Amino acid sequence: MQVIQNTKALKRALKSYKAQNKTIGFVPTMGYLHQGHLSLVGQAKNENDVVVVSIFVNPLQFGPKEDLKKYPRDLKKDQALLKNSKVDFLFVPNEQSFYPADFQTTVKVEKLSQPLCGKTRPIHFGGVATVVIKLLNIVMPNILYLGQKDYQQFKVVEKLVEDLSFPTTVRMAPTVRQEDGLAMSSRNVYLSAGERQQAPKLYRALLEVEKSIQKGALNPKLLQQKLERQLKSIPGLRLDYAQIVDAQTLQTVVNLTKHQRLLVACAVYFGKTRLIDNILLKV
Ligand code: AMP
């Protein structure tokens, strides 16, 4: 595995593979890697000749009161994991050269950035879109891999690539969970032992919605209220949102119709730690 910091050096290194028509799979991350990230890497390995992973804690997607400074980092361990997964290139850009002092361009996917996480994190998806389009311009992958855990991010990036005619396929991989159902996340390390015990209840509450719909409950407003109540009853948890939305538009649904694809999503705080989770289902 080659570890590259410099943008031009990475472009140069990838050029020869492109000239040979080799396919490139790309997995952007913020590091502190876990099995969720590695499942994306595994899929990229299976489907491409060359795999590029990036590790970059992108300051543009953190609000002023968010955890940019204390976001967990362990580059040595990440490097070992990626080497073990037979990744070809690890791109670790340096913040100052990636965003020089006079950097002034941003990209925004208007509608999809607003609901759900966009309400409490108004600058987040603009920051994501900007870093992703910049990384795509550098790596020029055939396939970009993103996780369902950040479903809204996936939808924003999918639209970004479509709207700006970028020649990359965007692929979503399922959420990888701990045995007790908690979605793997770099932020899980912030949880205290007590919070860690409560955290798997998020996923269980989401699955309850699915069960209710299967049993014939078809009033999304009531289902959402029930989900909110259930989440709020978890000790130590503060609810940001719990919503049932159309999986394509991320807009609230008023009536459930047959075969409709839904996203049931929530964001919660345990102390200062913000966790998100979601499930996709078909009515
Ligand atoms: P992050 O490092 O948190 O920015 O995540 C990098 C990529 O890994 C994103 O596409 C995430 O959606 C994905 N990811 C994070 N956690 C998981 C998980 N538990 N299962 C699957 N993908 C994940």
pLDDT band at 181; cut points 50, 70, 90: very high
Distance of CA 164 to the CA centre of its chain: 20
Distance in Å, CA 149 to ligand 1 centroid: 6
Distance of CA 172 to the CA centre of its chain: 10
Q: Look at ligand 1, atom 8, and give the residue with the nearest C-alpha.
A: 37
pLDDT band at 25; cut points 50, 70, 90: very high
Q: Which of 91, 123, 95 is closest to 10 using CA atoms?
A: 91
Tokens for 6, please give them: 């410099």
pLDDT of residue 216: 92
In angstroms, the Cα distances linking 116 to 16, 120, 139, 267 are 42, 8, 30, 8
pLDDT of residue 206: 98
Distance in Å, CA 3 to ligand 1 centroid: 21
SS3 for 253?
coil
Q: Which of 183, 109, 175, 170 is closest to 141 using CA atoms?
A: 170
pLDDT of residue 175: 98
Distance in Å, CA 70 to ligand 1 centroid: 18
Q: Look at ligand 1, atom 22, and give the residue with the nearest C-alpha.
A: 147
pTM of the predicted structure, to 2 decimals: 0.98
Q: How far apart are CA 244 and CA 115, in angstroms?
A: 11
pLDDT band at 277; cut points 50, 70, 90: very high
pLDDT of residue 89: 98
Q: How far apart are CA 254 and CA 203, in angstroms?
A: 23
95, 31, 164, 25: CA torsion to nearest 10: 120
Q: 124 an active-site residue?
A: no
Which pLDDT tens digit goes with each residue over 61-96? 999 999 999 999 999 999 999 999 999 999 999 999
Distance in Å, CA 146 to ligand 1 centroid: 7
Which among 29, 37, 54 is the best mutation to test ligand 1's pocket, defined by most ligand atoms within 8 Å of the CB? 37
DSSP string, 167-234: S-EEEEEPPPB-TTSPBP-GGGGG--HHHHHHTTHHHHHHHHHHHHHHTT---HHHHHHHHHHHHHTS
pLDDT band at 177; cut points 50, 70, 90: very high
Which pLDDT tens digit goes with each residue over 209-266? 999 999 999 899 999 999 999 999 999 999 999 999 999 999 999 999 989 999 999 9
Protein residues with CB under 6 Å of any ligand 1 atom? 29-30, 36-37, 39-40, 146-147, 149-150, 173, 175-176, 183-186
Q: Which of 214, 283, 216 is closest to 253 using CA atoms?
A: 283
C-beta neighbour count of 11 within 10 angstroms: 15
Q: Which atom of ligand 1 approaches the CA of 150 most closely?
A: 12
Q: Which atom of ligand 1 approaches the CA of 37 most closely?
A: 8
pLDDT band at 121; cut points 50, 70, 90: very high
Q: How far apart are CA 206 and CA 37, in angstroms?
A: 22
